[in-house]
Amino acid sequence: MLGQDVREVALAAGHEPTALSRAELDIANAGLVQTAVASSRPEVVINCAAWTNVDGAEGDYDRALAVNGPGAGNVARAAADAGAWTIHVSSDYVFDGTKRQPYVESDQVGPVSGYGRSKLAGEIAVALAAPDRHTIVRTSWLFGAYGPCFPTTILKLGGERDTLSVVDDQVGCPTFTGHLARALVGLAGAERPGVLHVAAAGECSWFQFAREIVEQGGEQCEVSPCTTDEFPRPAPRPAYSVLRSERGAPELPHWRQGLAEYFAVRAQVAA
Protein backbone atom coordinates (compact mmCIF):
# COMPACT_ATOMS: atom_id res chain seq x y z
CA MET A 1 0.00 0.00 0.00
CA LEU A 2 2.55 2.61 1.11
CA GLY A 3 5.35 1.15 -1.00
CA GLN A 4 3.42 1.51 -4.23
CA ASP A 5 2.62 5.15 -3.47
CA VAL A 6 6.29 5.84 -2.64
CA ARG A 7 7.35 4.28 -5.93
CA GLU A 8 4.89 6.40 -7.93
CA VAL A 9 5.85 9.61 -6.14
CA ALA A 10 9.56 8.88 -6.58
CA LEU A 11 9.11 8.29 -10.31
CA ALA A 12 7.10 11.50 -10.68
CA ALA A 13 9.89 13.39 -8.89
CA GLY A 14 12.46 12.18 -11.40
CA HIS A 15 14.13 9.54 -9.24
CA GLU A 16 14.98 6.02 -10.38
CA PRO A 17 13.50 3.81 -7.65
CA THR A 18 14.11 0.11 -7.23
CA ALA A 19 10.89 -1.15 -5.65
CA LEU A 20 10.95 -4.68 -4.24
CA SER A 21 7.84 -6.51 -3.08
CA ARG A 22 7.73 -8.99 -0.21
CA ALA A 23 7.83 -11.83 -2.75
CA GLU A 24 11.02 -10.36 -4.20
CA LEU A 25 12.78 -9.63 -0.91
CA ASP A 26 12.20 -10.98 2.59
CA ILE A 27 13.78 -8.34 4.83
CA ALA A 28 14.10 -10.89 7.66
CA ASN A 29 16.86 -12.52 5.59
CA ALA A 30 19.95 -10.39 6.22
CA GLY A 31 21.99 -11.92 3.41
CA LEU A 32 19.33 -11.32 0.79
CA VAL A 33 18.91 -7.73 1.98
CA GLN A 34 22.65 -7.07 1.75
CA THR A 35 22.77 -8.43 -1.81
CA ALA A 36 19.67 -6.56 -2.98
CA VAL A 37 20.73 -3.20 -1.56
CA ALA A 38 24.33 -3.48 -2.74
CA SER A 39 23.25 -4.36 -6.27
CA SER A 40 20.92 -1.34 -6.44
CA ARG A 41 23.64 1.12 -5.33
CA PRO A 42 21.04 3.45 -3.74
CA GLU A 43 21.49 6.92 -2.32
CA VAL A 44 18.47 6.51 -0.02
CA VAL A 45 16.59 3.41 1.16
CA ILE A 46 12.97 3.92 2.25
CA ASN A 47 11.77 0.91 4.23
CA CYS A 48 8.02 0.47 3.77
CA ALA A 49 8.08 -3.24 4.66
CA ALA A 50 6.32 -4.23 7.87
CA TRP A 51 4.14 -6.78 9.60
CA THR A 52 1.00 -4.65 9.90
CA ASN A 53 -1.48 -7.17 11.34
CA VAL A 54 -1.86 -5.68 14.82
CA ASP A 55 -4.04 -8.48 16.19
CA GLY A 56 -2.03 -11.16 14.42
CA ALA A 57 1.13 -9.97 16.15
CA GLU A 58 -0.34 -11.02 19.50
CA GLY A 59 -0.56 -14.66 18.48
CA ASP A 60 2.46 -14.74 16.18
CA TYR A 61 4.82 -12.30 17.84
CA ASP A 62 8.04 -13.97 16.75
CA ARG A 63 7.18 -13.59 13.07
CA ALA A 64 6.01 -10.02 13.55
CA LEU A 65 9.19 -9.18 15.42
CA ALA A 66 11.40 -10.80 12.78
CA VAL A 67 10.11 -8.32 10.19
CA ASN A 68 9.48 -5.22 12.28
CA GLY A 69 12.53 -5.55 14.53
CA PRO A 70 15.66 -7.32 13.20
CA GLY A 71 14.28 -7.06 9.66
CA ALA A 72 14.28 -3.28 9.90
CA GLY A 73 17.82 -3.46 11.23
CA ASN A 74 18.87 -5.59 8.25
CA VAL A 75 17.65 -2.90 5.86
CA ALA A 76 19.39 -0.09 7.75
CA ARG A 77 22.64 -2.03 8.03
CA ALA A 78 22.68 -2.86 4.32
CA ALA A 79 21.91 0.76 3.46
CA ALA A 80 24.73 2.01 5.71
CA ASP A 81 27.16 -0.49 4.17
CA ALA A 82 26.20 0.86 0.72
CA GLY A 83 26.70 4.46 1.86
CA ALA A 84 22.96 5.16 1.67
CA TRP A 85 20.64 6.99 4.07
CA THR A 86 17.80 4.98 5.67
CA ILE A 87 14.26 6.31 6.04
CA HIS A 88 12.35 3.89 8.24
CA VAL A 89 8.57 4.00 8.78
CA SER A 90 7.41 3.42 12.35
CA SER A 91 4.12 3.77 14.21
CA ASP A 92 2.12 5.74 16.75
CA TYR A 93 1.58 2.40 18.50
CA VAL A 94 4.99 2.75 20.20
CA PHE A 95 3.11 4.97 22.70
CA ASP A 96 0.78 3.78 25.46
CA GLY A 97 -2.01 6.27 24.67
CA THR A 98 -2.37 7.72 28.18
CA LYS A 99 -1.68 11.31 27.09
CA ARG A 100 -4.55 13.57 26.13
CA GLN A 101 -2.53 15.90 23.98
CA PRO A 102 -0.49 15.05 20.89
CA TYR A 103 2.63 12.97 21.23
CA VAL A 104 5.85 14.65 20.08
CA GLU A 105 9.20 13.08 19.25
CA SER A 106 10.69 13.47 22.73
CA ASP A 107 7.78 11.80 24.57
CA GLN A 108 8.43 8.57 26.44
CA VAL A 109 7.57 5.43 24.47
CA GLY A 110 5.67 2.55 26.04
CA PRO A 111 3.88 0.19 23.64
CA VAL A 112 0.93 -1.79 24.96
CA SER A 113 0.73 -4.46 22.22
CA GLY A 114 3.01 -6.98 20.57
CA TYR A 115 2.81 -5.00 17.35
CA GLY A 116 3.85 -1.83 19.16
CA ARG A 117 6.74 -3.61 20.86
CA SER A 118 7.92 -5.00 17.52
CA LYS A 119 7.83 -1.53 15.92
CA LEU A 120 9.81 -0.08 18.83
CA ALA A 121 12.33 -2.89 18.41
CA GLY A 122 12.66 -1.80 14.79
CA GLU A 123 13.40 1.77 15.78
CA ILE A 124 16.16 0.57 18.10
CA ALA A 125 17.56 -1.81 15.47
CA VAL A 126 17.67 0.95 12.82
CA ALA A 127 19.39 3.40 15.18
CA LEU A 128 22.03 0.79 16.10
CA ALA A 129 22.61 -0.38 12.52
CA ALA A 130 22.93 3.10 11.00
CA PRO A 131 23.61 5.43 13.95
CA ASP A 132 24.48 8.50 11.90
CA ARG A 133 22.53 7.80 8.71
CA HIS A 134 18.86 7.23 9.50
CA THR A 135 15.52 8.99 9.80
CA ILE A 136 12.72 7.22 11.69
CA VAL A 137 9.30 8.50 10.59
CA ARG A 138 6.48 7.68 12.99
CA THR A 139 3.06 7.90 11.40
CA SER A 140 -0.52 6.98 12.25
CA TRP A 141 -3.52 4.94 11.02
CA LEU A 142 -2.39 4.51 7.42
CA PHE A 143 -4.91 4.03 4.63
CA GLY A 144 -4.47 3.97 0.86
CA ALA A 145 -5.91 2.84 -2.45
CA TYR A 146 -3.47 -0.01 -3.11
CA GLY A 147 -4.13 -2.39 -0.25
CA PRO A 148 -6.54 -3.51 2.47
CA CYS A 149 -7.24 -0.74 4.96
CA PHE A 150 -9.94 0.66 7.25
CA PRO A 151 -11.88 2.61 4.57
CA THR A 152 -11.95 -0.47 2.32
CA THR A 153 -13.38 -2.55 5.16
CA ILE A 154 -15.98 0.07 6.10
CA LEU A 155 -17.11 0.46 2.48
CA LYS A 156 -17.48 -3.30 2.11
CA LEU A 157 -19.44 -3.65 5.35
CA GLY A 158 -21.49 -0.54 4.57
CA GLY A 159 -22.63 -2.16 1.34
CA GLU A 160 -23.68 -5.31 3.19
CA ARG A 161 -25.29 -3.97 6.37
CA ASP A 162 -27.81 -1.36 7.44
CA THR A 163 -25.92 -0.44 10.63
CA LEU A 164 -22.31 -0.47 11.80
CA SER A 165 -20.91 -0.05 15.32
CA VAL A 166 -17.42 1.46 15.49
CA VAL A 167 -15.29 2.30 18.53
CA ASP A 168 -15.38 5.96 19.57
CA ASP A 169 -12.82 5.92 22.40
CA GLN A 170 -9.64 5.47 20.35
CA VAL A 171 -8.34 8.67 18.75
CA GLY A 172 -5.60 9.13 16.17
CA CYS A 173 -4.68 10.76 12.84
CA PRO A 174 -5.85 8.77 9.79
CA THR A 175 -3.04 9.33 7.29
CA PHE A 176 -3.37 8.87 3.53
CA THR A 177 -0.43 6.96 2.11
CA GLY A 178 -0.30 9.25 -0.93
CA HIS A 179 0.39 12.21 1.36
CA LEU A 180 2.92 10.31 3.48
CA ALA A 181 4.70 9.05 0.36
CA ARG A 182 5.29 12.63 -0.80
CA ALA A 183 6.77 13.49 2.59
CA LEU A 184 9.03 10.43 2.60
CA VAL A 185 10.34 11.13 -0.89
CA GLY A 186 10.78 14.78 0.09
CA LEU A 187 12.95 13.66 3.01
CA ALA A 188 15.18 11.67 0.65
CA GLY A 189 18.46 13.51 0.52
CA ALA A 190 17.49 15.83 3.37
CA GLU A 191 19.50 13.76 5.89
CA ARG A 192 17.32 14.57 8.91
CA PRO A 193 18.72 12.27 11.63
CA GLY A 194 16.62 10.83 14.44
CA VAL A 195 12.84 10.58 14.85
CA LEU A 196 10.22 12.65 13.05
CA HIS A 197 6.45 12.55 13.53
CA VAL A 198 4.66 12.78 10.19
CA ALA A 199 0.89 12.27 10.26
CA ALA A 200 -2.26 13.88 8.91
CA ALA A 201 -3.53 17.14 10.34
CA GLY A 202 -6.58 16.91 12.57
CA GLU A 203 -7.66 14.03 14.76
CA CYS A 204 -10.69 11.77 15.10
CA SER A 205 -11.92 8.50 16.53
CA TRP A 206 -12.45 5.37 14.46
CA PHE A 207 -16.20 6.08 14.69
CA GLN A 208 -15.77 9.60 13.32
CA PHE A 209 -13.51 8.29 10.59
CA ALA A 210 -16.02 5.58 9.65
CA ARG A 211 -18.88 8.06 9.55
CA GLU A 212 -16.90 10.29 7.16
CA ILE A 213 -16.03 7.27 4.98
CA VAL A 214 -19.69 6.33 4.69
CA GLU A 215 -20.66 9.91 3.89
CA GLN A 216 -17.97 10.50 1.27
CA GLY A 217 -18.55 7.03 -0.17
CA GLY A 218 -22.28 7.56 -0.57
CA GLU A 219 -23.25 4.52 1.50
CA GLN A 220 -26.64 4.46 3.19
CA CYS A 221 -25.82 2.49 6.33
CA GLU A 222 -26.02 4.06 9.78
CA VAL A 223 -22.80 4.26 11.83
CA SER A 224 -23.13 4.26 15.61
CA PRO A 225 -20.45 4.63 18.31
CA CYS A 226 -19.41 1.92 20.74
CA THR A 227 -16.64 1.50 23.31
CA THR A 228 -13.51 -0.60 23.08
CA ASP A 229 -14.89 -2.81 25.84
CA GLU A 230 -17.95 -3.49 23.69
CA PHE A 231 -15.76 -4.49 20.73
CA PRO A 232 -12.79 -6.38 22.24
CA ARG A 233 -9.82 -7.31 20.03
CA PRO A 234 -6.83 -9.57 20.73
CA ALA A 235 -4.38 -6.62 20.79
CA PRO A 236 -4.85 -3.58 23.04
CA ARG A 237 -4.70 -0.21 21.27
CA PRO A 238 -3.57 3.15 22.64
CA ALA A 239 -6.65 5.21 23.48
CA TYR A 240 -5.01 8.38 22.19
CA SER A 241 -2.12 8.37 19.72
CA VAL A 242 -2.26 11.69 17.88
CA LEU A 243 1.18 12.64 16.54
CA ARG A 244 2.63 16.12 16.11
CA SER A 245 6.19 17.29 15.54
CA GLU A 246 8.39 19.50 17.68
CA ARG A 247 11.23 19.10 15.16
CA GLY A 248 9.79 20.80 12.08
CA ALA A 249 8.78 17.59 10.31
CA PRO A 250 6.86 17.82 7.01
CA GLU A 251 3.22 18.78 7.58
CA LEU A 252 0.53 16.72 5.87
CA PRO A 253 -2.99 17.79 4.78
CA HIS A 254 -6.03 17.14 6.98
CA TRP A 255 -7.23 13.56 7.18
CA ARG A 256 -10.53 14.51 5.50
CA GLN A 257 -8.59 15.77 2.48
CA GLY A 258 -6.64 12.54 2.53
CA LEU A 259 -9.88 10.59 2.46
CA ALA A 260 -11.15 12.62 -0.50
CA GLU A 261 -7.94 11.86 -2.39
CA TYR A 262 -8.24 8.20 -1.43
CA PHE A 263 -11.64 8.07 -3.11
CA ALA A 264 -10.28 9.85 -6.19
CA VAL A 265 -7.37 7.43 -6.56
CA ARG A 266 -9.61 4.45 -5.81
CA ALA A 267 -11.89 5.49 -8.66
CA GLN A 268 -8.93 5.75 -11.03
CA VAL A 269 -7.64 2.32 -10.01
CA ALA A 270 -11.09 0.78 -10.57
CA ALA A 271 -11.55 2.45 -13.98
216: left (phi over 0), alpha (psi -120 to 50) or beta: alpha
Reduce the secondary structure of the chain to three states and give it as a string: CHHHHHHHHHHHCCCCCCCCCCCCCCCCCHHHHHHHHHHHCCCEEEECCCCCCCCHHHHCHHHHHHHHHHHHHHHHHHHHHCCCEEEEEEEHHHCCCCCCCCECCCCCCCCCCHHHHHHHHHHHHHHHHCCCCEEEEEECCEECCCCCCHHHHHHHHHHHCCEEEEECCCEECCEEHHHHHHHHHHHCCCCCCEEEECCCECCEEHHHHHHHHHHHHCCCCEEEEECCCCCCCCCCCCCECCECCCCCCCCCCEHHHHHHHHHHHHHHHHC
Residue 146 is among the residues annotated as catalytic for this protein: no
Catalytic option among 61, 93, 103, 115? 115
Which are the catalytic amino acids?
Answer: 115
